[in-house]
Amino acid sequence: MSTTNNAAGRLLDILIRGRELPTNVAMYENWAHLLSVPKNDKALLLQRVGRVMELPSQIKDSLINIPEIRHEAYLRWAPKVEEAFSIINLDIHWSNFIQRIDDSVLFSLEMCEDTIQRYFPEKPAKNNDLNELLSAIDDLLSDVREDETINERLKAFILVHLLTIKHAIEEYEICGLEPIERAIESTIGGAVMHSEARPRMDSIAPLKRFWDIFTKALLVLQFVHSGFEVSADIHPILPLWPKEETDLPDDPLLNVG
């Protein structure tokens, strides 16, 4: 994974790994491998390939916001990448796509990655942090689905928002932080609308676990996103949130939960 967290770095990482794969296999097999999708789940595969195809426009948007550079010089990769994406057919050989991704494309994208990072710096999330969150989410999803003592409205709240956060984390290497940020905002909004979902001292165990996971996700986001701040207005609903800014750990999952 790239050492930066922007659209150019994410696309560059995917294409570099893609050039290492065999070229005489069906395109869907290599996309499934690159994007961590089961080969038999074509709906999810199409969704994630679509996310990858959005990256070029995101790169362009970032570069346009840097007026000091010659934009045309930084976009020399675009024609070849757009041509490659224009012939996406999951049943043809991978070579039809990847042969268009040459060294000049990778070099140009690397320059974009570096420039965007200098103007809009963001640290990448740690894989261990994301994997720990996914493991905790999967455990709670299983327990909540089997728990017949939780009222249906509260169960629906927990399941919907857990799955939203889970899917956002699973697509982090394609989409970056934005889906995780949207999932967190959606959860906060849901808690405002559904009072029974807000954490209390007497909350049932699954709800406590849900807010513990949510707080850890929020800590990861704040750790890697230089411009993200958590409003003091929502601190009361976050049972694990550090009481003072100086209490924030260097590692977002260290000594939390």
Please tell me the predicted confidence (pLDDT) of residue 246.
Answer: 46
Please tell me the predicted confidence (pLDDT) of residue 99.
Answer: 96
CB neighbourhood size of 119 (10 A): 13
Please tell me the predicted confidence (pLDDT) of residue 135.
Answer: 96
What parts of the chain have a pLDDT lower than 50? Answer: 241, 245-249, 253-257
| Separation between Cα atoms, residue 119 and residue 29, nearest integer Å | 36
In this prediction the pTM is 0.82
Please tell me the predicted confidence (pLDDT) of residue 109.
Answer: 97
User: What are 208-235's pLDDT values in tens digits?
Assistant: 899 889 988 888 877 666 555 655 555 5
Please tell me the predicted confidence (pLDDT) of residue 230.
Answer: 57
User: What are 74-84's pLDDT values in tens digits?
Assistant: 999 999 999 99
